[in-house]
Amino acid sequence: SKMTVKAVKMPCTAPNVYTKVPDGGWGWTIAFAFFFVEALTYGIIKSFGVFFNDLMESFDETNSRISWIISICVFVQTFTAPLSTVLSNRFGHRFVVMAGGVLISTGMVIASFARTVVDMYVSIGVISGLGYCLSFLPTVTILSQYFDKRRSLVTAVASTGECFAVFSFAPAITALKEQIGWRYSLLSVGVLQLSIVVCGSLLRPIIIKEQEEVKVQPPEEPTETKYMLENEQTRTSIESIDSGVEITTSPSNVPGNTKAEPKSDEPKEHVQILVENNSTPPEPKTKLLDFSVMRDYSFICYAFFGLFATLGFFAPSLYIIPLSLSLGISKDHSAYILSAMAIAEVFGRISAGWVLNKKPIRKIYIELICVVLLSVALFAFPFASEFWGLMTCSIFFGFMLGTVAGTHIPLLAEDDVVGIAKMSSAAGVYVFIQSLAGLAGPPLAGVLVDTTQNYSSAFYSCAAGMVLGAVFLSLVRPCKVGLCHRQQQCAEESAAEVVPDLPDDFIEMDIGKAENSGKGCDGV
């Protein structure tokens, strides 16, 4: 076939065809690529704080105006998630991720020559933000397609690239700034992010084709029996040479789908059986963006969980250092608190993947437990009054954040939410809804801090959002079960309506009509 020839000529670009989800194979290469994509996207975003003081001094701007660079970047990244889904379904994951890597690098390089903070808004906020979306979401989507039983564990481990990037990039960029300045350091970061193109080139598409059970039938006996019955009706013997009927019964000419074409220009009647090789039905077109997920009540509840939970994802990392400084803790010790949070997040991601990989287990309930514990961690921050109290809260929060942040998007592929078939469209819509909270969360926490003059109010707002997220997450499974029961009931009712109630004497009535019509014909 054409696909086989293409796979031989271009083994690095042809799609991988499997009869079932491989749970490995080329998927390990995809996981390796996702590790570096995660490091070069979210890892750079979280490490961008090392440029804050330099940007404020160079542009003579306030901290709030500089912080809008990352806010716009994160908003564009999540807001354009449906666009990423559409482009991936249209052009493939590989091309979209490679294009995203070019956009990220271009935005960073342009930003190194920026003269005003508005230039930063456009270059990093819009251009690089769009590139982050095109790079991250398709990679995690195709990674989920390569794994089934190990999906949670592999995704969680690969997502730790973000945490390791925070360790390595922050001190490396700081040391580089002292040597060549912040502009050339930012230029170097942009050139480094161009390696996302290499990661994108490794994303070979996957095709799952289930094996069809082929019923092997003897090629001669069914055909001879068939024609013997037909010739019996026409009073023609299949074994008679004088009848002029030639039957081609070789195995190569007796397929499942046959077609008889009599030739009328010869004195003898010939029946030729033709083979129809090109009888495969055309494959249905893939929807660019399947909005049918919006009619799924379980997905709607899960989307609201993501909306409110996102309020608690970003604010703690932004306000943990100001909170520690307000309590009289030194800057060095405050940095240790943030580092401990990042280390705990690595262990949280790996632990969550290991637990969710166990069978049998209802993964949505494990996620709910982690979200509840994450809410407890957020409520505990305001009660800490010294270094070790904040350190304990940060480690606990970082661990629980890792369990949720590394699994909430891959869980869309579970049957309790939408399933692997609709995961691509669902991820685009889900991240799009998250963008609203990602844009409003940090400013909302900032308004509360300015109003109350207390950093604890920011953590209370994050905890309230996380609690609301836990409520909606607890409704996902009941909505899915209720919807399945409702669909099954509707199917049974429709099947009952299709088959009408027949009277007991239905057959007798038809036999009587047939006898009367037969008598009428005899009379004629």
Residue 189, H or E segment: helix 161-193
Measured distance CA(289)–CA(88) in Å, rounded: 10
Place of tokens 């799009």: 432
Measured distance CA(393)–CA(341) in Å, rounded: 9
Cβ–Cβ contacts within 10 Å for residue 501, how many? 6
Measured distance CA(170)–CA(288) in Å, rounded: 38
The SS3 of residue 519 is helix
Measured distance CA(311)–CA(315) in Å, rounded: 7
The first and second tokens of residue 384, run together, are 């800490």
State the Rg of the chain over Cα. 32
Residues forming beta bridges with residue 16, ordered by sequence position: 206
Q: What is the pLDDT of residue 319?
A: 76
Measured distance CA(158)–CA(34) in Å, rounded: 6
Q: Please give the C-alpha separations between residue 224 and each of 151, 190, 238, 249, in angstroms, as whole numbers.
A: 53, 73, 8, 8
Measured distance CA(49)–CA(318) in Å, rounded: 10
Omega of the bond leading into 360 within 30 degrees of 0 (cis): yes
| Axis-axis angle for helices 456-474, 476-498 (nearest 10) | 20
CB-based contact 263:272 (threshold 8 Å): yes
The SS3 of residue 6 is helix
The first and second tokens of residue 287, run together, are 């929807």
Cβ neighbourhood burial of 344 (10 Å; 0-12, 13-18, 19+): buried
Cα–Cα–Cα angle for 17, 23, 28, nearest 5°?
90
**Could you report the average pLDDT of every consecutive run of 10 residues in the chain (524 residues)?**
37 66 83 92 83 84 78 85 86 92 95 92 93 90 83 82 81 85 92 93 81 52 50 45 40 44 46 42 55 79 88 74 80 76 86 76 84 92 88 90 81 78 77 77 75 83 90 88 62 57 50 52 47
Q: Could you write out the DSSP letters of every residue in 199-253?
A: HHHT---EEE-PPP------SSHHHHHHHHHHHHHTT--TT-STT--EE---GGG
Domains of the chain: 14-209 (1.20.1250.20), 289-496 (1.20.1250.20)
Strands 16-18 and 206-208: parallel
pTM: 0.63
Encoded amino acid at 263, one letter? K
